[in-house]
Amino acid sequence: MVRTTIRDVARQAGVSITTVSKALNDYSDVNPETRKRIQEIADKLNYVPNAAGRTMGGKADTVIGLLINDLKPTDPSGAVYGILSGVYHACQDNGVEFILLTTDTLQQKQQSLKVLCLKKQLSGLICSGFRTSDRYMEQLGDIDIPCAFIDMRTPDSRVLDITIDNARAACDAVTHLLRCGRRNIAMVNGSTVADVSVLRESGYRRAMEKAGLEVRPERVIYANFDDLMAYNKVWRLLQDDPEIDALFCASDLMAIGACRAAEDLGLAVGKDILVSGFDDIPIAKYLYGGLTTIRQNFYRMGYTAGRAIYDKIEGTDKAHMDDVMYELVVRGSARAN
């Protein structure tokens, strides 16, 4: 197969090789329309720029990329750092190169997943922070390198899913609230398009149904994993439905917002109303007598993903899911009296 060169792109675009190079490396002195046209031609021709430092003695290095979607300026949960450091150490332990990549909704429209992998000359890819509705989810079949997703399931059987059993963990958390004698349990969920939200809600429903309790539609609310949104929605929920005696929240951040709302309504967290979160973020143990939650080991997730992709690249498929466990941590916000 003849490899497309930068000359081919320049010839078809009707510009110089220098202009093509500048456009593909995001130089500011290239007209946006010209840059877009060059990028489209490069994508069409499957042109892959040479990546400096990726070859040594003619033999390509193994490169594992961690692609994070919608990276935020702050990360109170510590999930991103935990995953990143886990993948990095897995790559380091196995003598392969690690590269961190980020994307968002706009970038997914501008550049396909296949082109991204080709440009970075990836041997394997690990994805984190994606939603089922994201554009790249539709393009998994276009890439021919080992791929893993952290904390979500994918419909592609070739893709590794590195995650805890979210449904079972949620069921355990709600079962704990039930054992504390609570029966009017509402759920503060994240997003309708997040795989973990779907799974955690199914666990909540399973626990309620096993206890013979009805799940009222109005008692499942969505706060997009945001503490302020959770505060506002829980405040209204408790105002409208004062019988609620416990809240299961799909993240600790939402649980913190829920606790604040309950307190502002004069309810004592841990007594009048029990609250359980999910993640065990660093600050969880210091709030409201300690937040009862599901502890996830994000470092272990990252390390497991890195090792699993390395084994795929080497052709030695091994079972890694047993390494990814969770733990129900009982603290003051939801403790049996």
Q: Which two tokens stand for residue 18?
A: 């220098």
What is the domain-level CATH number for residue 86? Answer: 3.40.50.2300
Which of residues 278 and 69 earns the better pLDDT score? Answer: 278
The overall average pLDDT reported for the chain is 89
Instruction: Check pLDDT > 80 for residue 90.
Output: yes
Residue 43 is assigned to a structural domain of this protein: no
What is the model's pTM? 0.76
In tens, the pLDDT along 286-324 reads: 999 999 999 999 999 999 999 999 999 988 776 555 457
Question: Is 29 buried (19+), middle (13-18) or exposed (0-12) by CB count in 10 A?
Answer: exposed
Among all chains, which residue has been given the structure tokens 């080991």? 297
**Is the same domain home to 261 and 284?**
yes
Sign of CA pseudo-dihedral 197, 160, 164, 87: negative
Dist CA 181 CA 179 (whole Å)? 5
**Is the same domain home to 268 and 315?**
no
Instruction: Check pLDDT > 80 for residue 93.
Output: yes
Task: Assign 60 a pLDDT band (cuts: 50, 70, 90).
Answer: very low
In tens, the pLDDT along 10-59 reads: 899 999 887 888 888 777 788 889 999 999 998 888 887 655 434 333 33
Residue 335 is assigned to a structural domain of this protein: no
Q: What is the mean pLDDT of residues 238-242?
A: 97
**Is the same domain home to 193 and 218?**
yes
Name, in order, each residue with C-beta under 8 angstroms of 92's C-beta and a sequence gap of 6 or more.
98
Residue 312 is assigned to a structural domain of this protein: yes
**Is the same domain home to 29 and 71?**
no
Domain that holds residue 113: 58-162+297-324
Task: Assign 193 a pLDDT band (cuts: 50, 70, 90).
Answer: confident
pLDDT of residue 18: 79
Structural contact between residues 119 and 49, judged by C-beta atoms closer than 8 angstroms: yes
Residue 67 DSSP SS3 = strand
**Is the same domain home to 106 and 139?**
yes
Residue 268 DSSP SS3 = coil
Task: Assign 2 a pLDDT band (cuts: 50, 70, 90).
Answer: low
**Is the same domain home to 72 and 31?**
no
**Is the same domain home to 307 and 290?**
no
- Written as one letter, the residue type at 271 is K
Name, in order, each residue with C-beta under 8 angstroms of 192's C-beta and a sequence gap of 6 or more.
222
**Total domains, the chain:** 3
